[in-house]
Amino acid sequence: MGAAAIFARYALSAAQPLAVAAARLCIAAAVLLIIALVARERAGTPTKEQRIVLLAAGVVLALHFATWIASLDYTTVAISTLLVSTSPLFTTLYDAIVRRRHFPPAVPLAFIAGIAGLVLITRSTHSPAPQAGHAILGAALALGGAAAFAAYLLFVREVRGDLSTRAIVTTTYTAAAAVLVILALLAHQPPPPLHAYGAWGGILAMALISQLLGHTGMNAALRWFSPTAVSFSTLLEPVFAAALALVLFGEALSGLAIAGAVLLLGSIGTILWIAPD
């Protein structure tokens, strides 16, 4: 999953964000639907209520990919991946506001530190993105992707039960693919031309590696771990993404951005450590 933003950057070289996201989810969903047709064992059939929740999860998953991939047009791989990894902050806010869960004083302090880290990151100077001068927009899109992914994890938690991972991801990925195709058509964003081999290579890598292996693995982990605990596994994703972006694209972070990243990741780690679900 740490390489997903790298793959997306290659895909964006010949297509726009909604088209890239739609192609990624269509390929992943097609693979799962084929497996469902040929598999001898049943993956479990969701009830009507579960199917409604899974369809809602698919919608927010579509929003996650649409906003996060779009952020890569306005900010660097490292910043985008770092900010989209803040989903634990949103799941904790949900628990505090909706579930009225009480947290120790260290959690609000960690939130304050995380906000300070966000300020440092957005105010820092770093290697230019494809469309320079829109760092705030890129950060906002990445944070929107984090909030949408937090909602996805919370939806899946509600229906986890006896449903298999394959039943869950087949429904959610298919729903997300349908939503993204509609959005791409409405926005007049076609897929990359067939001769754009680099773009299609990035899309295939996102679908087969980052989606079917990475995201499906996170869905499987929800059987044994909470959404917040699962989100803990994403803390290394920005580190890998930043290292790969530096080597492949020459995208370097300023000292101020690195300080903000340390503050932000430290605050997320503190919240996950002190207030697990």
* Sequence letter at residue 13: S
pLDDT digit of tens for each residue in the chain (277 aa)? 788 999 999 999 999 999 999 999 999 999 999 988 887 656 567 788 889 999 999 999 999 999 999 999 988 888 898 889 888 888 888 888 888 877 788 888 888 888 888 888 777 655 555 666 677 888 899 999 999 999 998 898 888 777 888 888 999 999 999 999 999 999 999 999 999 999 999 999 999 999 998 888 877 777 777 666 666 667 778 888 888 888 888 887 778 888 888 888 888 888 777 765 5
SS3 (DSSP) at 70: helix
Residue 171's identity, in one-letter code, is T
- The letter for the amino acid at 101 is R
Measure the CA–CA gap between 96 and 90, rounded to whole angstroms. Answer: 10
CA angle at 132 for the pair 249 and 202, rounded to the nearest 5°: 40
Q: At what angle do helices 165-186 and 17-38 cross, to 10 degrees?
A: 140
Q: How far is Cα 172 from Cα 62, in angstroms, rounded to an integer?
A: 9
